[in-house]
Amino acid sequence: MQTAEISADALLDLVRAYNPKTNAPLIKAAFDYGAKMHEGQSRHSGEPYFTHPVAVAAILTEQQLDDATLITALLHDTIEDTKASFTDVEEMFGLEVAELVDGVTKLTNLQLNSTETKQAENFRKLFMAMSKDLRVILVKLADRLHNMRTIKAMRPEKQAQKARETMDIYAPLAGRMGMQWMREELEDLAFKVLNPEGRASIMRRFITLQRESGDVIQRITTDMRHELERAGVIADVFGRAKKPYSIWRKMEEKEQSFSRLSDIYGFRVITGTEEDCYRTLGAIHQRWRAVPGRFKDYISQPKSNGYRSIHTTVSGRDGKRVEVQIRTRQMHDVAETGVAAHWSYRDGVRTQNPFAVDPAKWISQLTEQFDAEDDHEDFLEAVKLEMYADQVFCFTPKGDVVKLPRGATPIDFAYAIHTRIGNACVGAKVDGMRVPLWTRVKNGQSIEIISAEGQTPQATWLDIATTGKAKSAIRRSLRAVDRERFVKLGQELARSAFAQVGRKATDKALRTACKNMRLESVEDLLAQLGSSELTGREVVQAVYADLAPRKSDQINAQEAVVGLEPGQSFDRGTCCRPLPGERIIGITFRGKGVTVHTIDCEKLSVYEDQPERWIDLRWHEGNHPAVYDVTIDLTLGNGTGNLGRICTLIGEAAANISDLEFIERKPDFYRLLIYVSLRDIEHLHALMLTLEADSDVAQIRRHRNGDASKREKQSV
């Protein structure tokens, strides 16, 4: 049925088919009100705009949803795009509908495809809106589905933006809610926009395969029905080819060509009882060979969104693999609509499906671990991890079930039980055998966590953990440990800095420095001093400005690093070019001294398995000479006098230019590398702020050279 053809009566017929007791006059009133409010508005295709809300409502009737959700669908754009107000909607259709419409409006205004930080904040708002009433996101998903079905009317760049947003956010969200059919259709519609050639290629190969091997689906379906009849099982059997995007993803993941991909067909068996599900499984495994490692029993261990089914993969005709899903009718209803099954109606009454998940419980499980997360990027990472997670089910020694995403480790298991247990974890046993903490857990395994008092999370755990909850807890603990360590180091640095001017770092002196530097507490001051965010000289100047070390008291560049053995030489890594004031680490080379790197240098990963070569270093506190070379990557407007002005600004900042290298020239802009000699990291920050403020500077960043020095290459 085309959207333009759906009248009020046609829509009511769709509703009455599953809910004869529907409030038809209220739905008709909402239809008429929406049509009136959107009168004169058109879509990109030229159709009357109101055909879109009607189509969204029709999509929701396929999930047999309640009247309030359908009325919300009809009115979901009225508050945003027409003169209708929240009060108007509330007076005519009640507070429940008004709040749902308002919730959808707020979701529509979220720019979910924006920058990382803003995107994370919008994800927070998305989950907050969902937590109030999950029907808001059901309407939004149906809204997105219809927009994707009619996306061809949009401009190409708008199509690409909407398709990417759909692939990244709405499709996985639909899947996480258990609405697998919607996830597959959204992915396929987005795939058609983002990679039309890839999709067309798969479609052509399907046609070729069907021509060569005939109707495989019909043959296997007939064989399955025959086997079930022999076993005395009454069931419906359906077969289908998997969606093009699903096949494309398998090809990418397995790095296989289409011809080598085996399980491109899926079959579904719908039985009358749970007992028949297992009888069906036995009949299928007797007739066809089961593929090892491809069996999952989500009936005995359901997914958190209520999904129940038995999955198995068998070798069918001609050795081709086929995936089979076995479930009852009630399980199938939840599998089709997921969390939405909570609101579905049948024969005029709310469906009492025993497998439907309580939406409030579901959303609380999804959001509880994000509430305590302070870091926006951490929050976004956690959300995406949970959105895309497939699940495995493990057991505690007492037999309790713990659900984890596929690829999870014992560390994730420990934090899933309790944060305290995760923080104290020192080891794990899987099925009674001691295993490393990076072991990937599997379905059905029993896991015992070994803990110890005084244990704290290690930084390496961040690479081992996969769940958002575990990563969030580890980061919080590491920040607390780091702060404690930085405070202790800051106390020593403060004592040393004050001693250089013949004074003591008393509590009163530190409180004075804290007040003058506008910091909240002495502990904050010491933590920043210990983490190199502040220097000892700055703290002393905040109290005794006239006693701070003079500029003439410069540190010898050959003795600028603390922590070396007597007589041991050092040089700065060419990959990161560390500056005084930055946190540093040293890598030793046989008979050739030490190479100094910044603590976050990517080159350090080469030496991860050689801990004996690492030494802790730090820069001398004090006044360093401007002899440390740094490269600045600058994009500058191509105008008369611009480069000369930039060179003047660099000179005025007491920095010396040693070389210039043009790496890209355009008619209006050019990009160049400027090689300058600086004192320390503060000198670099000040210089970059000065240059960035110039109106003709389009972009500026510190350039780091990824190539190692000759000496390092020879010694590795």
667: domain CATH number is 3.30.70.260
What is residue 414's predicted lDDT score, i.e. its pLDDT?
92
* CATH number for the domain that contains residue 232: 3.30.460.10
Residue 443 lies in a domain: no
Asked whether residue 512 falls in the same domain as residue 596, the answer is: no
Compute the radius of gyration of the chain from its Cα atoms.
32
Q: Which of residues 680 and 131 earns the better pLDDT score?
A: 680
Query: Which helix (H) or strand (E) covers residue 245, if one does?
Result: helix 244-254
- Domain stops at, among 619, 639, 672: 619
What is residue 207's predicted lDDT score, i.e. its pLDDT?
77
DSSP string, 298-334: TTTS--TTS---EEEEEE-GGG-EEEEEEEEHHHHHH
Looking at the chain, the whole-number percentage of residues with pLDDT higher than 90 is: 20
Residue 7 lies in a domain: yes
**Cα–Cα distance list, 425 to 429, 437, 452, 471, 474 (Å):** 11, 9, 7, 14, 11
Contacts of 283 (CB under 8 A, 6+ apart): 227, 228, 230, 231, 233
In tens, the pLDDT along 413-432 reads 999 888 889 989 989 999 88
The model scores a pTM over 0.75: no
What is residue 707's predicted lDDT score, i.e. its pLDDT?
37
Taking residues 608-616, report their average pLDDT. Answer: 87
Asked whether residue 645 falls in the same domain as residue 605, the answer is: no
Positive or negative, the CA dihedral 128, 132, 136, 137 is positive
Question: Greatest CA span in the chain, whole angstroms?
Answer: 98
Residue 125 lies in a domain: yes
372 pLDDT above the threshold of 70: no
Asked whether residue 210 falls in the same domain as residue 286, the answer is: yes
Residue 636 sits in which domain range? 628-714
Asked whether residue 510 falls in the same domain as residue 591, the answer is: no
Q: Note whether 617 and 563 are within 8 A (CB).
A: yes
In tens, the pLDDT along 426-453 reads 899 998 888 888 888 887 788 999 988 8
- Give CA angle at 75 (69, 80), nearest 5°: 125
Looking at the structure of the chain, the number of domains it has is: 5
Contacts of 207 (CB under 8 A, 6+ apart): none
Asked whether residue 114 falls in the same domain as residue 49, the answer is: yes
Q: Which of residues 613 and 489 earns the better pLDDT score?
A: 613
Under the banding of pLDDT at 50, 70 and 90, the label for residue 700 is: very high
In tens, the pLDDT along 207-217 reads 777 676 667 78
Asked whether residue 533 falls in the same domain as residue 587, the answer is: no
Which position among 80, 168, 524, 694 bears the catalytic label? 80
In tens, the pLDDT along 241-267 reads 778 887 787 676 555 555 555 567 789
What is residue 715's predicted lDDT score, i.e. its pLDDT?
35
Asked whether residue 14 falls in the same domain as residue 155, the answer is: yes
Contacts of 228 (CB under 8 A, 6+ apart): 234, 235, 237, 269, 280, 283
- Domain stops at, among 547, 577, 605: 547
13 is catalytic: no
Which position among 5, 32, 39, 81 bears the catalytic label? 81
CB atoms within 10 A of CB 210: 13
Asked whether residue 693 falls in the same domain as residue 612, the answer is: no
What is residue 285's predicted lDDT score, i.e. its pLDDT?
92
In tens, the pLDDT along 622-636 reads 888 888 999 999 999
Mean pLDDT score across all residues of the chain: 81
- Domain stops at, among 619, 649, 673: 619
Q: Note whether 487 and 514 are within 8 A (CB).
A: no
Asked whether residue 511 falls in the same domain as residue 571, the answer is: no
Asked whether residue 154 falls in the same domain as residue 291, the answer is: no
Under the banding of pLDDT at 50, 70 and 90, the label for residue 107 is: confident
What is residue 359's predicted lDDT score, i.e. its pLDDT?
67
80 is catalytic: yes
Asked whether residue 239 falls in the same domain as residue 346, the answer is: yes
